Structure 1
Amino acid sequence: MKTIDEMLHLALLSPDEHRQISHWIARADSPEEILQMPPLLWRAIERASAVMGIDEDLMRPPALDAGAC
């Protein structure tokens, strides 16, 4: 939920898209149910994710010093 809140804050999701996505996620009992979100909402998330570079972050290999103290 934090990510979609940030998307709203950055004006990458409209307040209505944010509300609908939040409600969908809150009602879902499983990841499979989240995946059944309507295509228009998925496209909104995909657009916002692309602008934020989320896919690139997830594909980046971990830093060699990750977890080092």
Structure 2
Amino acid sequence: MKTIDEMLSLDLLTPEQHHQIGAWIARADSPDAILEMPASLWQAVERASAVMGIDADLLRPPSLDAGGAVFS
């Protein structure tokens, strides 16, 4: 929900889309049920994700410095 809240705050989703997506996710009892969301809502999420660069973040290799952690 945090991601769709951010999409709303950035005006990438309308309040109605945000409500419908949030309600769908809340009703879904499994990841497969979420995947059955209507195409128009998926398209809205995909457009917002593209603008936010979410796909690029997911495809970026992990940082090797691990935030300064030291592994032995």
Q: Distance in 2 between matches of 1:58 and 1:5?
A: 19
The answer for the alignment partner of 1:13 in structure 2 is 13
Q: Distance in 2 between matches of 1:15 and 1:36?
A: 21
**Structure with larger Rg:** 2
Structure 1 residue ranges without an equivalent (≥5): none
When normalised by structure 2's length, the TM-score is 0.93
Q: Distance in 2 between matches of 1:65 and 1:15?
A: 39
Q: Which digits, 9 at most, give the CA deviation of each residue in 1:2-25, with x for residues without a partner?
A: 000000000000000000000000
Note the aligned Cα RMSD (angstroms): 0.9
Structure 2 residue ranges without an equivalent (≥5): none
Q: Distance in 2 between matches of 1:66 and 1:4?
A: 27
When normalised by structure 1's length, the TM-score is 0.97
Identity of aligned residues (%): 72
Q: Distance in 2 between matches of 1:40 and 1:66?
A: 38
Shift of 1:66: 1.3
The answer for the alignment partner of 1:35 in structure 2 is 35
Aligned pairs, how many?
69
The answer for the alignment partner of 1:59 in structure 2 is 59
Q: Distance in 1 between matches of 2:47 and 2:19?
A: 17
